Amino acid sequence: MAGVTNTVFRRLCKAKGADVLTTEFVSAEGILHRNARTQYYLDFHEEERPLGVQLFGGEPERLARAARAVIDWVRPDFLDLNFGCPVNKVVCKNGGSALLRDCPLLARVAQAVVKAADPVPVTAKIRIGWDRNSINAEETARILEESGVRRIAVHGRTKEQGYSGEADWAVIAQVAAAVKIPVIGNGDIAGADDVLNRRRETGVAGVMIGRAAMSHPWIFSEIRAALENGEIPPPPSPVEKWKFICAHCAAEIAWRGDEIMAMRSMRSRLMAYTRGMPGGARLRERLSHVGSLAELEDIAALHGESQTVGTIPA
């Protein structure tokens, strides 16, 4: 997820039980120009493997060159093609979900990247269609399968929906039945129960988790426990949550080597972590200005303990 799943956060998700990780989307042009921002997106540790680099772009030749270049550059375990991004800046250059409206171009992109990446596997992420009058996920998935893509993640919304409404898992199930390659379902998974239900109902080979991990990365260990022994562990205590949040900030500071910049970049993440926590508005107000780890630790001490004994700090 753009702006979220950098190497620091991915490692935390992995430690919590995530199986397969992917970088945020990276433009083919950024790779070909080897700009500093792209280097930041591509940074990862060995412990994150198997790790995929997600690429976006709209020109088969450029994407194929970028695929080869990024494989030589950082040696990912697989490449993932983004055919789902709904953001206009990306779509107007024929990237992301724009290709859902142009299946011949989507096929050329997939074929070119599969050929250039060989023997590194290529996967793809799609949405169910451009809008509700043009739902074409089955067709898209078949084209991708024929093009040599090895796995497809399907976000059960259309481009027009953005992130609104609900993911349509009936369409995801149709895609899973339509192709032989594994299909990963994505959209609105909020807990281990959802995973058990979706797997039973839809025939997906796996699930992909987005937003829920931002506020509750424990979701991965809960799912793992539910799949392994049918029991979901109790949620982390407030003290455990705050410990994790502070550790995330500390790791971000270590990675960036600049406390002020790291804490600034963590502010939106702190908002996600504290969603639904007692003390809401006031806590979030303080977090929106937090400038150092020491300051965060003070807030954590106050809130972790007060939540444990059931009071809300003023």
Distance between CA 111 and CA 50 in Å, rounded? Answer: 23
Residue 207 CB, nearest approach to ligand FMN (Å):
8
| Closer residue to ligand FMN, CB minimum distance, 21 or 209 | 209
- Residues making contact with ligand FMN (CB under 6 A): 1-4, 24-25, 54, 82, 84, 125, 155, 186-189, 209-212
Minimal distance, residue 115 CB to ligand FMN, in Å: 22
| 21: phi then psi, degrees, rounded to nearest 5 | -120, 150
- In the complex, least distance from residue 22 CB atom to ligand FMN, rounded to whole angstroms: 7
Residue 74 vs 239, nearer CB to ligand FMN:
74
Nearer to ligand FMN, 189 or 287 (CB): 189
Structure tokens at 18: 């995530």
- Is 24 or 77 the residue whose CB approaches ligand FMN more closely? 24
Alpha-carbon distances of 210 from 22, 155, 227, rounded to whole Å:
11, 10, 19
Q: Which residue is at the shortest CB distance from ligand FMN?
A: 210
Q: Least distance to ligand FMN from the beta carbon of 25, Å? A: 4
The residue annotated as part of the active site, out of 85, 92, 246, 249, is 85
Q: Is 85 a catalytic residue?
A: yes
Catalytic positions? 85
